Homo-oligomer: A and B are copies of this chain.
Amino acid sequence: MKNDNYHHGNLREALIDIALDILEEEGSAGIKMRAVGKRAGVSASAAYRHFSDKSALLAAVAKRGFDDLTIALNQVRTKTHLSVDEQLQEMGVIYVVFAVEHASQYRLMYGSEAIRTEDYPDLAASAHNMSREYALLVKQCQASGVMKGETTTEILHVMWACTHGAAMLVIDGFISPPDIYQYARNIVNYVDAGIREDD
């Protein structure tokens, strides 16, 4: 594991880290192959030994975002002192907060036309794993009788759409809430009221 001179050791991961750093500092426009290479102490074209494309590098960054988000959502499901319904609300809040706190990366994960998700099966799989966290919890809510039980997919779509939209509107500057937690809690609360079983 030399880190000097010629061979780098683990350039692939280093490049992803660097791209993430730049993303937070300058936004996605700052990610240039030359800049990433230079920061890694490597030439511009070195990255092409590990990524076929700039898109491939971005896809790797996006994948990491989905994986991190999956972990964050999964942790909510370990909070057994909350009811499953409360867990679902908490998950929605965590989702929105994660997105806003990693705004540029989140935009890369979703809105980026530069990444054709279907070209990166790993990325698609990570995205799917993420939404599965929502789905599993919705299923539990339905099983416990607190939630309308028609189809899990429908309820999942409602939660996902609302939290995704809430995050995106903030990220893109259309809504500027003073307190992101309260903003998220409020929206999730209304949505929850709509999908809960009438009692």
List A residues at the B interface (Cβ < 8 Å): 27-29, 107, 110-111, 113, 117-118, 127, 131, 154-155, 157-158, 160-166, 168-169, 172-175, 183, 186-187, 190-195
Q: Which of B163, B193, B194 contacts A165 (CB 8 A)?
A: B163
Contacts of A161 in B (CB 8 A): 162-163, 165-166, 169, 187
Q: Is the CB of B111 within 8 A of A107?
A: yes
By a CB distance below 8 angstroms, the chain B residues around A28 are: 113
Q: Which 6 A-B pairs have the closest CB atoms?
A: A165-B165, A194-B194, A111-B111, A161-B165, A161-B166, A164-B165
How far does the alpha carbon of A68 sit from the alpha carbon of B127 in the complex, in Å?
Answer: 33
Bound Cα distance from A195 to B190, whole angstroms: 6
**Contacts A158-B186, A163-B165, A194-B195 given; 13 further ones with Cβ under 8 A?**
A107-B111, A107-B113, A110-B172, A111-B111, A111-B172, A154-B186, A157-B166, A160-B165, A161-B163, A162-B191, A164-B168, A165-B166, A192-B194
Q: Which one of B172, B175, B186, B191 contacts A191 once the chains associate, using CB atoms below 8 Å?
A: B191
Please, could you name 21 A-B residue pairs with CB atoms under 8 Å apart, sorted by A?
Answer: A107-B113, A110-B172, A111-B172, A117-B172, A154-B190, A157-B169, A157-B183, A157-B187, A158-B186, A158-B187, A160-B175, A161-B162, A161-B163, A161-B166, A161-B169, A164-B169, A190-B194, A190-B195, A191-B191, A193-B195, A194-B194
Closest-CB distance, A162 to chain B (whole angstroms) = 4
